[in-house]
């Protein structure tokens, strides 16, 4: 075999290739950003020059290879400049989630040891409030998106002043290994402190190919790409990298994320593909019921982050001709994992069945492998019923959290344990049924809290419902339903009618042992039910069947 070794070039899969290609072949293509003063437009040619200047600037301010460069910013052209300048320079782009509680933001900056932080002027106050607790930051670079600003941060430099002070010629990029860290992002969905995920150049490079692959998201040069999902949330699902790779026009929404702003931008810029969580689409759907926008340019919407309701996928398509691709992913998977792409022979299936497939989380992207295992670690059958924990592996899946002992419990035989519980149907499509920590484990059998609460929320007297595990002496855990009645039924709703409502749909042993009525379900900062708080509240609750 040895004589065959080395007969193909050892060409590192680094982001330089994307940037240089974009600058060389697509200099006329546009990058558009919505700003407080209107719309900022420039070309990839301008973009390319500024990314090179920014690399000179990183050198000037003392950033060393491997240093973490934090960004606290909306989706803008400047943020996109750092997206490429930092990794191509050899530093690590660390996107900071501006919606995190301040103690977590402090933890993340300190844990990653960010050396400089690039911050939008409109977000300065977040850093001002925690500045005394930041141990590693030597300089704040302010990106002025407000007109006039003042700050108590120190030392600071203005982004544009910095760029104006450096040489105009191209920066001589260092030769980097494809395994070099290009970016990092901390997970938001954890209990305890966030965990750091590090992306290599190679991971992002290969992930971008998956995002550009036909038959899936298929980002291509003809697209006008609008990343609504924030650039601080799992790399805006990889859209900025993939868009630059193919030379697509990019439209950045800045801080303007209300349904009306987004519809206007899609209409004005003739956006062809975009990505955002279901909440955004629920808002847009409601707006479209009242106001008219021309969204006919959209060829595809990627939706994920939480489950997209089937009814909404169907309604958008039938009423507005907008096609949704439901995808699943995590910060730990760069993030694309699976996509609900129907197979060609499903075209002839009845609507009911086709939309059922489209509302699942799908089959893995090329490059990603998945399996699901039961409590004993045995792979579950593809029967669409048995539940198991989803595990993944692939070239853009994390192999360990950054400096974090919690890495040890996150893997099994080289597979990353996602913490998501799924079923897999005979066609190979996964459906997320719960998070492992939210499952009710009754006598060793699993009950999906999500299935139960979704069913309860269909009851006409119910506004919201969450199902949690309550301690039980015999079965260890049993389901407890926590229900918010619609105000008009506050005094007339009963536990019995809820149980009866579920009885026809679920096996008897799935039915909640009790139903308690409350005024509100606690929510997390991103609006999901906060089951941790609920579990805490009901940790000493005695179920009626347990006495």
Residues acting as catalytic residues: 187, 332, 441, 446
**Angle, vertex CA 391, rays to CA 203 and CA 308, nearest 5:** 85
**Two tokens, residue 261:** 């702003």
CB-CB contact of 144 with 160 (8 Å): yes
- Whole-angstrom Cα distance, residue 252 to residue 35? 9
CB of 335 to ligand AMP, least distance (A): 6
Q: Which residues bind ligand AMP (CB under 6 A)?
A: 187-189, 234, 304-307, 326, 328-331, 335, 361, 418, 420, 432, 435
Nearer to ligand AMP, 67 or 420 (CB): 420
CB of 189 to ligand AMP, least distance (A): 4
Whether the bond between 155 and the residue before it is cis, its omega within 30 degrees of 0, is: yes
- Whole-angstrom Cα distance, residue 105 to residue 95? 11
Nearer to ligand AMP, 153 or 359 (CB): 359
Nearer to ligand AMP, 121 or 363 (CB): 363
Task: Specify the residue for token string 């997209």.
Answer: 308
CB of 388 to ligand AMP, least distance (A): 15
- Whole-angstrom Cα distance, residue 310 to residue 322? 14
Nearer to ligand AMP, 33 or 361 (CB): 361
CB-CB contact of 193 with 338 (8 Å): no
Nearer to ligand AMP, 90 or 335 (CB): 335
Nearer to ligand AMP, 324 or 510 (CB): 324
For 440, half-sphere exposure in the C-beta direction (CA atoms, 13 angstrom radius) is 27
CB of 392 to ligand AMP, least distance (A): 10
The burial class, CB within 10 Å (0-12 / 13-18 / 19+), for 221 is middle
- Grouping H, G, I as helix, E, B as strand and the rest as coil, residue 69 is strand
**Two tokens, residue 128:** 């001002």
CB of 171 to ligand AMP, least distance (A): 32
For 192, half-sphere exposure in the C-beta direction (CA atoms, 13 angstrom radius) is 5
**Position of minimal CB gap to ligand AMP:** 331
**Two tokens, residue 395:** 């070239």
CB of 187 to ligand AMP, least distance (A): 5
Nearer to ligand AMP, 88 or 211 (CB): 211
CB of 190 to ligand AMP, least distance (A): 9
* Non-local CB neighbours of 181 within 8 Å, separated by 6+ positions: 66, 92, 198, 199, 200
Nearer to ligand AMP, 243 or 303 (CB): 303
Alpha-carbon torsion 136, 140, 141, 145, what sign?
positive
Nearer to ligand AMP, 23 or 194 (CB): 194
- Whole-angstrom Cα distance, residue 121 to residue 51? 20
Q: 10 Å Cβ neighbour count for 352?
A: 9
CB of 237 to ligand AMP, least distance (A): 9
Instruction: Specify the DSSP element, H or E, that contains 290.
Output: helix 278-290
CB of 112 to ligand AMP, least distance (A): 17
- Any long-range contacts for 446-453 (C-beta under 8 Å, 24+ apart)? 446/375, 446/387, 446/421, 447/479, 447/509, 447/510, 448/387, 448/421, 449/479, 449/531, 450/307, 451/506, 452/479, 452/481, 452/502, 452/506, 452/510, 452/512, 453/481, 453/529
- Whole-angstrom Cα distance, residue 353 to residue 408? 40
């Amino acid at each position: 075999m040895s004589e065959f070794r080395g007969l193909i070039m050892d060409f590192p899969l680094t982001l330089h290739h994307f940037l240089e290609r974009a600058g060389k072949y697509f200099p006329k293509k546009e990058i558009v950003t919505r700003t407080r003063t209107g719309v900022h437009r420039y070309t990839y040619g301008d973009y390319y020059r500024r990314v090179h200047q920014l690399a000179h600037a990183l050198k000037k301010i003392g950033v060393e290879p491997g240093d973490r460069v934090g960004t606290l910013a909306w989706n803008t052209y400047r943020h996109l400049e750092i997206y490429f300048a930092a990794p191509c320079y050899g530093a690590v782009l660390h996107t900071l989630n501006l919606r995190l509680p301040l103690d977590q933001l402090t933890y993340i900056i300190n844990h990653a040891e960010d050396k400089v932080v690039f911050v939008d002027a409109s977000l300065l106050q977040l850093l001002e409030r925690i500045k005394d607790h930041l141990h590693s930051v030597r300089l704040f670079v302010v990106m002025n998106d407000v007109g006039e600003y003042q700050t108590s941060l120190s030392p600071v430099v203005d982004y544009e002043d910095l760029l104006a002070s450096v040489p105009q010629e191209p920066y001589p990029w260092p030769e980097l290994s494809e395994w070099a860290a290009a970016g990092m992002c901390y997970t938001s969905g954890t209990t305890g402190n966030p965990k750091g995920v590090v992306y290599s150049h190679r991971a992002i490079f290969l992930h971008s190919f998956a995002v550009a692959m036909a038959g899936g998201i298929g980002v291509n040069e003809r697209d006008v790409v609008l990343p609504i999902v924030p650039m601080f949330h799992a790399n805006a699902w990889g859209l900025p990298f993939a868009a630059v790779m193919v030379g697509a026009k990019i439209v950045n929404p800045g801080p303007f994320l209300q349904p009306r702003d987004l519809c206007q931008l899609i209409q004005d810029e003739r956006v062809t593909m975009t990505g955002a969580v279901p909440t955004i689409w629920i808002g847009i759907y409601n707006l479209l019921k009242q106001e008219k926008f021309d969204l006919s340019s959209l060829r595809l919407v990627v939706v994920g982050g939480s489950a997209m309701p089937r009814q909404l996928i169907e309604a958008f398509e039938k009423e507005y001709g907008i096609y949704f691709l439901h995808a699943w992913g995590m910060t730990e998977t760069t993030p694309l994992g699976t996509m609900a792409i129907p197979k060609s022979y499903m075209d002839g299936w009845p609507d009911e069945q086709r939309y059922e497939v489209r509302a699942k989380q799908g089959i893995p992207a090329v490059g990603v492998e998945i399996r699901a295992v039961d409590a004993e670690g045995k792979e579950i059958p593809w029967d669409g019923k048995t539940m198991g924990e989803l595990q993944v592996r692939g070239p853009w899946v994390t192999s360990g959290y950054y400096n974090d002992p919690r890495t040890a419990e996150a893997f099994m035989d080289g597979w990353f344990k996602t913490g998501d519980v799924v079923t897999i149907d005979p066609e190979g499509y996964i459906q997320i049924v719960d998070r492992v920590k939210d499952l009710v484990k009754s006598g060793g059998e699993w009950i999906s809290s999500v299935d139960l609460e979704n069913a309860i929320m269909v009851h006409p007297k119910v506004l919201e419902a969450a199902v949690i595990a309550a301690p039980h002496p015999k079965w260890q855990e049993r389901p407890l339903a926590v229900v918010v009645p619609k105000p008009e039924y506050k005094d007339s709703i009963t536990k019995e009618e809820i149980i009866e409502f579920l009885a026809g749909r679920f096996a008897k042993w799935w039915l909640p042992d009790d139903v308690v009525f409350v005024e509100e379900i606690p929510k997390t900062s991103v609006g999901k039910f906060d089951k941790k708080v609920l579990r805490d509240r009901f940790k000493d609750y005695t179920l009626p069947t347990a006495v």
